[in-house]
């Protein structure tokens, strides 16, 4: 049996619900030595989720083999050497871990992913150690994890149906179980396993099983790269998009934004009355201003290709990696002992050179590091703390997980309503009555008209103090954009603020916000939020 590693309780991921899905399965035969190249590979191909087998990791090293930008899940083998599975999902994905039921022979690590245009999918990294038999109970337990399931990894099942030269007992059994358990088998067309012993045949052991998945299969292919006796397998599913998208980022020209804001004679702003008085005029002015700002900023944006981690390697290592990948492709097409030995030799050379480069880079950094260095405090924090503490998804009182936005919102709302409701009659009814009468009396008073109006200088001072690295609200207007406002737009803000004061009105557009719950230290992170009554 395997046990989850200490890093196997990750956060509910980001908010991106993809339409397409890129998965990478890789039997690493030792994950630690493959991390640099694996990181580059995942960046180059834009991998959403990577599924790893034979990690050889142990629970006493919970932070081992972390990859920037990805959440790591692990199921480490504790009873013997080798083995173990892992899963990396992008932090931007709306994803969370799942609990794998007890398995007899299989090792597995899984997550639950919310998608656009498709129901939630369970994705599991699976490893069946050889020569253990494939058990129907293990396979059934994994396929029962959800309505849509993808099992991807090293099944150690050989069958000519998916391109193997011979059929073993596990391959025959997997073929028989396909109709009974109602799953589909997806396999690449080229070999994924290249034994170190040249007398053994290559085979296709790394395959995917899908059940209830309505996505289209775009392609599945073996990648001739990385350093292992297995090749990584890339699987892409979803609506056809005509090829691999190139990762891009948006860059905003803020000088151009400032110049564009100077031209305030635009249709959205022209519709704002000169004298804002009513609540309807306030709402209209806010909507027109927001629309104008978003339009200007969008016009001043451009997309550029995202940088690749491969640039971190010097040219000699990149050239060596290219030679190694070329040798792997040659050995895959012509698996002669000579070609396979050459490929393994280059794999060892790449591993040694990459490790040497990482050691040299660390030594150079330690020699030149000073408090003024941009990486000084980042390294200090990393060395002094336990690292990123992930926040798992909420669990309902019945033990089920709240994943979708609506489920999480209802879960939190129900919890707060329960805590704020009186479980028994109030102890002091007279006091409650006095409070209610006082509140009713205050709310019935006429609004005061002697409030000091907001001045332009006050608004200018507040805008200058805004922090540009803060996230924008639901309207998408960032603090950086507000800092680019000319005096005319700031004056419009002053008019809106004063109209709100005169009408005792808080615009609904400014009441909406995204609320992120952060658990208190020492409490169970999966439990529902508790009201801090000591702060009241």
Condensed to tens digits (0 to 9), the pLDDT of residues 144-199 reads 999 999 999 999 999 999 989 899 999 999 999 998 899 999 999 899 998 887 77
β-bridge partners, 395: 401
Residue 169 has a pLDDT of 94
Q: Where are the domains of the chain?
A: 2-245, 248-305+448-518, 313-386
Residue 173 has a pLDDT of 94
Distance, CA of 196 to CA of 103 (rounded, Å): 29
The burial of 255, by beta-carbon neighbours within 10 Å (0-12 exposed, 13-18 middle, 19 or more buried), is given as exposed
Please answer whether residues 150 and 121 qualify as being in contact, where contact means their C-beta atoms are separated by less than 8 angstroms.
yes
Check: CATH 3.60.10.10 for 2-245? yes
Residue 410 has a pLDDT of 83
Distance, CA of 210 to CA of 149 (rounded, Å): 6
Condensed to tens digits (0 to 9), the pLDDT of residues 28-83 reads 999 988 898 899 899 889 899 999 999 999 888 877 888 988 999 999 988 877 88
Please answer whether residues 76 and 2 qualify as being in contact, where contact means their C-beta atoms are separated by less than 8 angstroms.
yes
Condensed to tens digits (0 to 9), the pLDDT of residues 386-397 reads 555 555 667 777
* Residue bearing the bigger pLDDT, 93 or 365: 93
Mean pLDDT of all residues in the chain? 83
Q: Which residues of 172-194 are buried (b: 16+ CB within 10 A; e: fewer)?
A: ebbbebeeebebebbbbebbbbb
Residue 213 has a pLDDT of 92
Distances (CA, A) of 102 to 4, 41, 141, 357: 12, 32, 8, 42
Residue 126 has a pLDDT of 96
Residue 534 has a pLDDT of 41
Distance, CA of 314 to CA of 194 (rounded, Å): 29
Condensed to tens digits (0 to 9), the pLDDT of residues 462-503 reads 999 999 888 888 888 999 999 999 999 999 999 999 999 888
**Cis peptide upstream of residue 131 (ω within 30 degrees of 0):** yes
Distance, CA of 155 to CA of 167 (rounded, Å): 13
pTM here is 0.62
Q: Is 241 a residue whose pLDDT tops 70?
A: no
Mean pLDDT over residues 316-326, rounded? 87
Condensed to tens digits (0 to 9), the pLDDT of residues 396-405 reads 777 777 766 6
What sign has the CA pseudo-torsion 313, 314, 320, 322?
positive
Residue 116 has a pLDDT of 86
* pLDDT-based confidence at residue 516 (cuts at 50, 70, 90): low
The burial of 38, by beta-carbon neighbours within 10 Å (0-12 exposed, 13-18 middle, 19 or more buried), is given as buried
């Amino acid at each position: 049996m395997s046990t989850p590693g200490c890093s196997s309780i990750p956060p509910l991921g980001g908010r991106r619900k993809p339409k397409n899905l890129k998965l990478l399965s890789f039997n690493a035969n030792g994950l630690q030595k493959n991390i640099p190249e694996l990181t580059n590979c995942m960046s180059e191909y834009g991998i959403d989720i990577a599924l790893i087998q034979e990690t050889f990791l142990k629970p006493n090293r919970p932070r081992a083999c972390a990859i920037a930008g990805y959440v790591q899940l692990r199921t480490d083998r504790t009873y013997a050497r080798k083995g173990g599975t892992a899963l990396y999902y992008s932090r931007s994905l709306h994803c969370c871990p799942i609990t794998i039921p007890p398995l007899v022979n299989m090792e597995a690590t899984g997550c639950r992913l919310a998608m656009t245009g498709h129901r939630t999918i369970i994705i599991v990294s699976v490893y069946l150690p050889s020569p253990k038999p494939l058990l129907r109970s293990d396979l059934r337990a994994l396929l029962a994890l959800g309505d849509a399931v993808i099992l991807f990894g090293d099944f150690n099942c050989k069958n000519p149906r998916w391109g193997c030269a011979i059929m073993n007992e596990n391959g025959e059994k997997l073929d028989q179980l396909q109709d009974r358990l109602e799953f589909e088998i997806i396999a690449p067309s080229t070999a994924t396993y290249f034994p170190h012993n040249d007398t053994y045949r290559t085979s296709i052991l790394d395959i995917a099983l899908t059940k209830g998945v309505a996505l289209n299969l775009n392609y599945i292919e073996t990648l001739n790269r990385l350093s292992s006796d297995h090749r990584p397998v890339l699987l892409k599913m979803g609506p056809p998009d005509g090829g691999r998208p190139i990762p891009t980022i948006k860059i905003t020209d803020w000088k151009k934004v400032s110049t564009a804001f100077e031209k305030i004679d635009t249709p959205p702003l022209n519709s704002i009355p000169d004298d804002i008085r009513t609540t309807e005029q306030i709402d209209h002015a806010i909507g027109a201003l927001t629309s104008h700002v978003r339009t200007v900023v969008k016009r001043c944006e451009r997309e550029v290709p995202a940088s690749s981690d491969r640039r971190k390697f010097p040219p000699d290592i990149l050239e060596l990696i290219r030679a190694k990948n070329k040798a792997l492709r040659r050995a895959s097409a012509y698996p002669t002992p000579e070609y396979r030995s050459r490929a393994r030799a280059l794999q060892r050379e790449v591993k040694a050179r990459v490790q040497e480069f990482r050691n040299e880079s660390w030594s150079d950094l330690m020699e030149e590091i000073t408090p003024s260095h941009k990486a000084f405090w980042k390294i200090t924090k990393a060395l002094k703390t336990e690292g990123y503490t992930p926040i798992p998804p909420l669990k309902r009182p019945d033990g089920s997980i709240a994943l979708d936005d609506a489920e999480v919102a209802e879960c939190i709302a129900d919890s707060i309503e329960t805590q704020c409701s009186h479980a028994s009659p109030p102890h002091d009814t007279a006091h409650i009555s006095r409070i209610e009468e006082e509140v009713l009396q205050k709310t019935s008073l006429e609004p005061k008209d002697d409030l000091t109006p907001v001045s332009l200088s006050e608004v200018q001072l507040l805008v200058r103090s805004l922090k540009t690295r803060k996230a924008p609200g639901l309207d998408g207007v960032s603090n950086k954009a507000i800092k680019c406002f000319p005096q005319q737009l700031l004056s419009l803000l002053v008019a809106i603020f004063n109209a709100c004061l005169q009408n005792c009105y808080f615009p609904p557009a400014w009441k909406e916000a995204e609320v992120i719950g952060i658990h208190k230290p020492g409490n169970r992170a999966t439990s529902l939020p508790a009201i801090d009554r000591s702060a009241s």
